[in-house]
Structure 1
Amino acid sequence: MGWDDSLYEGADGDTGTKTATKAKARTDAGTGAADSGAGADGTAASGSSGGTVAGRGTLRRALRWAAAVLSLLILGTAGAGYLYYKHLNDNIRSGARTGGSDDPEKAAANAAGDTPLNILLLGSDSRGKPENVKLGGGKNLTSDPPLADVQMLVHISADRKNASVVSIPRDTRVDIPECKDAETGKVYPKTNTIINASLGRGGAGCTLATWQNLTGLYIDHWMTIDFSGVVQMADAIGGVDVCVKNNVWDRPLPGVPGGSGLKLTKGTHQVKGEQALQWLRTRHAFSSDLGRAKAQHMYMNSMIRHLKSQNVFTDTPRLTGLAEAATKSLEVSEEIGTVKKLFDLAMQLKSVPTDRVTMTTMPTVTDPQDPNHLVVQQTDATKMWTMLRDDVAFDGNASKADEEAAAAKKKKAAEKAAEQAAAAVKDPAGDPADTGVLVRNGTGGTQTPVRGRAATVASLLVGKGYTLARADATLTPQEKTTVLFPSAELEGDAQGVAKALGIPLTSVQRSTDVSGVTVTVGADWRTGTSPSEETAAPPSKAGAIPDTADAINGAEKDACMDVYAPYRF
């Protein structure tokens, strides 16, 4: 079959006739030329030539038609795609990244120029929407400020080869810094109370500031989801396997109101939608908030395995469904408030193997002020924060080659940073005898401070010519030794002090919190005359997280929840 000319040559019904007439005219002209210049029979050559010209004209018109149709399809698709992209962007709600006034320093880049990524995930108990009341109950709570009952920090390593997750139970008492609500401008004074209250004191930005204050980590982004959002996301993700060791029914009991409504028989089940929300909210049947955190970790690990087992990013309907649910369900910090940025963020996690994902809970002990609350178990928690700050994996599953490469990169990055710090000094060091230095004792914190440590180090400086060095009685606990200076003209002096004491130049920092060159002797230099490798705290080892962290590896498929006896049936 040939092309129907009426589809591409014009809008009227005579198009085909006009085209045929033009082709005949070309044929006749060719034939005439042949009759006058060819042999006596003057036949096939001219007719063949005329047919080729006509065919080429038809082909050109057909190609123009095809190109026009294709262009319209592309433009139409692009237009629809743009509208859908805009629709997804319009779904996204965002807010200020932090409600606090101070940020910790960002982690230094590795040799490849990459830095770790820290994301705070929050689950809100807000009853501000009717669907949340329907799912979570609490009709009398619709006007109450929301609480962040689920809080997890996701740390993705600089090389994107491992991810470490830490939960903090909602009833853990911590210091909440002064926070400002970015929407209302209201300022909330600092306080000491349970961490889930931070969300109602300026929004997710205040919770992020609280975590930064607690951990010393710079947190890049936050994401918040409420009850209805969990249901939407769980439906979009599909069924996720969970396991209980006994029949469970999380329901009100005499003297114990509430309950998520979760009801499952012993064994493994696929949960999604509202049942997934029930699993994530179950507390009493899993004994406590610590049990609930563990159940949430099991769900997340199972969800990651579920998504990785399917080629979600090549399955357009699935991808579309996930994008729709995510943008409707999540509120995010403003710097990631577009579809593209959220997609790029998802790609950061895509390459992490499941056996390099570790879920943990921050070590806690019972609050001496309230037996229903918890407080941080400082020794073990500090060890975990140190590992995260140093970008040390919570799992021990890295290959030897990866470990050696990481160590080499870390060493190279430290050397480069030291070189850059030295090169950046525009003001040379002054005469040590004219340089005032204040020395503080920061050896406390998780350990008892070393008495007289500031005086000892001040004496070391005097012996090296810094006759104006003196000890300050103020105790300022911190993990690492630092040399701070307030302004550019004292940078050279600060670096001179650091070199005299053998302190790495990377520990020399500008700060408005000091009025002169100030050395704070950290917990890494409790003894000796120099913070050398021999006297400093040993580096953290991958996988060496404390037992109190209740870790679950992402590859554990047989993890199963214990059920508190009163909630069995």
Structure 2
Amino acid sequence: MTRHEERGDAGGPAGRRSRALRIAGLALAGALVLATAAAGWAYRHLNDNITGVDIDNALGDDRPARAVVTPSTTASGTASPLPTGSLNILVLGSDSRSGTANRELGGGDGSGARSDTAMVVHIDAGRTGATVVSIPRDTLVTRPSCPLASGGTTAVAYGAMFNSAYSVGGPVCAVKTVESLTGVRMDHYLEVDFSGFAELVDALGGVDVTTTEDIDDDQSHLRLEAGTHHLDGKQALALARTRHGIGDGSDLGRIGLQQTLVKALLEQMAGTDLLTDPAALYRVADAVTTGLTTDTGLDSLGELVGLGRSLKGLTAGRVETVTMPVVTAPSDPNRVIADEPAASELWASLR
């Protein structure tokens, strides 16, 4: 053995091994730093996608009572780390006019938005079953006085279109109008715009939907023969907006398509193993949060993840979709009103 090899000088085998180990260590450290930085950037980016609205503060105490929640326990008797109480969530799909992507998808050329789709999602205690109740946007309601972000309040409106609440007072007025109509406290609020919905479908690789009749709607630009189709984001959005190419052209036919699409999306998400594909998981998370508006109880990635984890026992097969019972409005054959007492009985079952 030479003196260079004994000393581990740079020129000997021991020196080369030592240098290689140092380089490998530096490379690993660099990779960990980059991965941590990337994870931090991704978290901040997803968090920044979400818009929060302080609905609780805006509405104060003049609201239906919250459901009484009994803390759950594990088999050992300790408190469960995840909430298991029932929840009522108002989910709106808005035809926002803001942004190029929304306008290209049919949001129009003006400013503002309307609530194009409205669903009350009731999650049962235990969070293993859910009921999705669609509210026709053509329903005539008494729109209550709502606080405005700019100060002041809106006037009470009788016989107003349900979806006008969002137009005049945004998410706060939409929640207050739903609570006035149903007598049910909305624990959370979620709003997705055109582009966010289309991006979610594309991030999931599309969605399979079966239609029972031909669709030919000049307004949504969707043409499908009866049968099963694999739809991309733009086509799925067109399906959710179709009303003139099916049935009697009313909002009730469109709601049926929306409910079919919701079930298909849930099944698609359940069948996609995102945990084994970090890139796909990020694409879906980015799509979910893009264009998302929530109440301040869900306006962070951590809070949304916590809600998702609490729903891990909820499967697509245990989600029931119904429509609020309605009848034709006496004042206008193109509008509907709540069919009583059936509508009140439905809402009472969700309290």
Range of TM-score over shorter length: 0.7 to 0.9
Q: 1:300 to 1:75 in 2, by over 3 A?
A: same
After the TM superposition, which of the residue ranges 125-134 and 84-93 deviates more from structure 2? 125-134
1:152 matched residue in structure 2: 119
The secondary structure found in structure 2 opposite 1:388 is coil
The secondary structure found in structure 2 opposite 1:350 is coil
Asked whether the 8 Å contact 1:232–1:329 carries over to 2, the reply is no
How far does the alpha carbon of each residue in 1:528-553 deviate from its partner, in whole angstroms, 9 at most, with x for none?
A: xxxxxxxxxxxxxxxxxxxxxxxxxx
Q: 1:304 to 1:196 in 2, by over 3 A?
A: same
Larger radius of gyration: 1
Q: 1:371 to 1:18 in 2, by over 3 A?
A: farther
The one-letter amino acid paired with 2:215 is V
Equivalent runs, 1:271-290 vs 2, <5 Å: 271-286=231-246, 287=248, 288-290=250-252
Shift of 1:147: 1.6
Identify the match of residue 81 of structure 1 among 25, 34, 39.
Answer: 39
Shift of 1:352: 0.7
Shift of 1:61: 8.0
The secondary structure found in structure 1 opposite 2:220 is coil
After the TM superposition, which of the residue ranges 148-157 and 87-96 deviates more from structure 2? 87-96
1:209 matched residue in structure 2: 176
2:273 matched residue in structure 1: 311
The secondary structure found in structure 2 opposite 1:323 is helix
1:71 matched residue in structure 2: 29
Asked whether the 8 Å contact 1:97–1:335 carries over to 2, the reply is no
Equivalent runs, 1:44-63 vs 2, <5 Å: none
Q: 1:176 to 1:338 in 2, by over 3 A?
A: same
The one-letter amino acid paired with 1:129 is G
The secondary structure found in structure 2 opposite 1:179 is coil
1:190 matched residue in structure 2: 156
2:138 matched residue in structure 1: 171
Shift of 1:64: 6.6
2:325 matched residue in structure 1: 363
Asked whether the 8 Å contact 1:212–1:218 carries over to 2, the reply is yes
Tell me, yes or no, if structure 1 residue 90 matches structure 2 residue 48.
yes
1:200 matched residue in structure 2: 167
Shift of 1:344: 2.0
Tell me, yes or no, if structure 1 residue 270 matches structure 2 residue 230.
yes
CA RMSD of aligned residues (A): 2.6
Identify the match of residue 105 of structure 2 among 112, 119, 135.
Answer: 135
Asked whether the 8 Å contact 1:172–1:376 carries over to 2, the reply is yes
Q: 1:97 to 1:18 in 2, by over 3 A?
A: farther
Shift of 1:368: 1.5
CA distance in 1, matches of 2:214, 2:139: 30
CA distance in 2, matches of 1:149, 1:240: 21
The secondary structure found in structure 1 opposite 2:184 is coil
CA distance in 2, matches of 1:316, 1:359: 32
Q: 1:19 to 1:349 in 2, by over 3 A?
A: farther
1:109 matched residue in structure 2: 69
1:443 matched residue in structure 2: none
After the TM superposition, which of the residue ranges 310-319 and 68-77 deviates more from structure 2? 68-77
Asked whether the 8 Å contact 2:208–2:231 carries over to 1, the reply is yes
The count of residues paired between Structure 1 and Structure 2 equals: 332
2:59 matched residue in structure 1: 100
Q: 1:68 to 1:263 in 2, by over 3 A?
A: same
2:76 matched residue in structure 1: none
Tell me, yes or no, if structure 1 residue 126 matches structure 2 residue 100.
no
CA distance in 2, matches of 1:245, 1:327: 32
1:329 matched residue in structure 2: 291
**Structure with the greater relative contact order (CA < 8 A, sep ≥ 6): 1 or 2?**
2
Shift of 1:63: 6.5
The secondary structure found in structure 1 opposite 2:186 is coil
Shift of 1:163: 0.9
Asked whether the 8 Å contact 2:196–2:289 carries over to 1, the reply is no
Shift of 1:289: 0.6
Shift of 1:103: 2.4
Moved beyond 4 Å, runs of 4+: 57-69
Structure 2 length-normalised TM? 0.86
How far does the alpha carbon of each residue in 1:455-482 deviate from its partner, in whole angstroms, 9 at most, with x for none?
A: xxxxxxxxxxxxxxxxxxxxxxxxxxxx
The secondary structure found in structure 2 opposite 1:109 is coil
The one-letter amino acid paired with 2:51 is R
The secondary structure found in structure 2 opposite 1:378 is coil
2:80 matched residue in structure 1: none
CA distance in 2, matches of 1:377, 1:216: 15
Asked whether the 8 Å contact 1:92–1:337 carries over to 2, the reply is yes
Shift of 1:23: 5.3
1:232 matched residue in structure 2: 199
Q: 1:245 to 1:74 in 2, by over 3 A?
A: same
Shift of 1:67: 5.0
Q: 1:61 to 1:177 in 2, by over 3 A?
A: same
Structure 2 spans left out of the alignment, 5+ residues: 74-83
Q: 1:18 to 1:78 in 2, by over 3 A?
A: farther
Tell me, yes or no, if structure 1 residue 372 matches structure 2 residue 317.
no
* Percent of matched pairs sharing the same residue: 37
Shift of 1:277: 1.0
CA distance in 1, matches of 2:316, 2:201: 20
Structure 1 spans left out of the alignment, 5+ residues: 1-16, 25-53, 252-258, 390-569
Shift of 1:229: 2.2
The secondary structure found in structure 1 opposite 2:91 is strand
